Amino acid sequence: MDFFEKFKHAEYDFTYGAEDDPEHHNALQVGLVAWFYLDKGYTKENRARIAEAWQLYHNEFGGKLRWGYIDDPNKPLDYNVKLTKILKKYISDSFGESFFFDWYSDAGFRYASYYSVSVGSMAGWYESIHKNVSYFGFYIPVEELNRKDFLKALLSQFCNILQPLHGLMGLGIQQCYEKERYQHLEYEICNEFKGVDVINSNTDKKMRTGLRAVNWYTFFSNEWLNKLGGIQYLRSALSNPSIEIINYDNGVIIRAGEWPELGWIKDNPYPELYVKVNKVLKPIRAPEIGSLGYGSIAGEIRFDRNSTARWLARFDVDLPPFTAL
């Protein structure tokens, strides 16, 4: 089966309809996700970078967006021409202060969206004290993989604009705003599909200590590259024709294969290229990250600190030699 056939075959196991209208909306689904983690996102220069990244996403996918909020989710807004004309300047002018937004293609706090763009950046004084990171992220549907070369070029553009500490792009859970309602389902999905990414807090200071995860695309700054041993070491350690290493202005992008992998336990739980990349990047992986789930409220199983640690190390396995690619 090709990628799209495999995805369709597994889709029932990672798609959950919305509570009030499961025929027309999902509460939880899997698609392509991208997350960029940023240092000092509050500065004037970096807010301008975030504004430029939003503009890039808007130029490519903004026609799909319908609804969202700026700073206060209790004051939802339509994503329309009037707003988008002023949003870039609004983001740039927010430097120094906290700034958050989420924009979605499906309107509703409990509906997941195939297209979405998100930003979170604390005020300068807060980051200086608590050491949180800022983030920029987006969702797109897997159908966009019909333009793989375009996506590769687009990711390089985002990396050049944002200059992230690190991040990833690949298959992940596309959450609704009220994601905490469905964390028990996320736990089930991630135990069945090891290639599917999931997030909880995207501002966790522990992400300053290293990479959060590997995925189809994994990227990081030259600072982390140098700690790893430099570009020549990386190319030697990942010398495989199916693994592509792409330089950008201030870092490197690694693509683990021609297509993303679900890591389905029924099929291929340990995709060989993901395991290989994970092994090479393990020295610069964060030793721990914040829990991927909150506490149980009715006996349901969610991620806790221990299961989060196991998820972080899910590709720490030894594969048999001479495995066919």
- Find the mean pLDDT for residues 290-313: 90
pLDDT, tens digit, 9 for 90 and up, residues 36-78: 999 999 999 999 999 999 999 999 999 999 999 999 999 999 9
- For the chain, the average pLDDT equals 96
User: How many CA within 13 A on the CB side of residue 273?
Assistant: 22
Write out the H or E segment, with its range, that includes residue 172. strand 166-175
Q: What pLDDT band is residue 201 in, cutting at 50, 70 and 90? A: confident
Burial class (CB in 10 A: 0-12, 13-18, 19+), 81: exposed
- Find the mean pLDDT for residues 176-180: 95
- Find the mean pLDDT for residues 88-113: 97
pTM of the model: 0.96
Q: Helices 44-61 and 81-92: crossing angle, nearest 10°?
A: 160
Contact indicator for 93, 51 with CB cutoff of 8 Å? no
At residue 321, the pLDDT reads 60
pLDDT, tens digit, 9 for 90 and up, residues 109-165: 999 999 999 999 999 999 999 999 999 999 999 999 999 999 999 999 999 999 999
Q: Helices 148-162 and 44-61: crossing angle, nearest 10°?
A: 160
pLDDT, tens digit, 9 for 90 and up, residues 240-286: 999 999 999 999 999 999 999 999 999 999 999 999 999 999 999 99
pLDDT at 175 over 90: yes
pLDDT at 295 over 60: yes
Q: φ and ψ at 166, to 5 degrees?
A: -170, 175
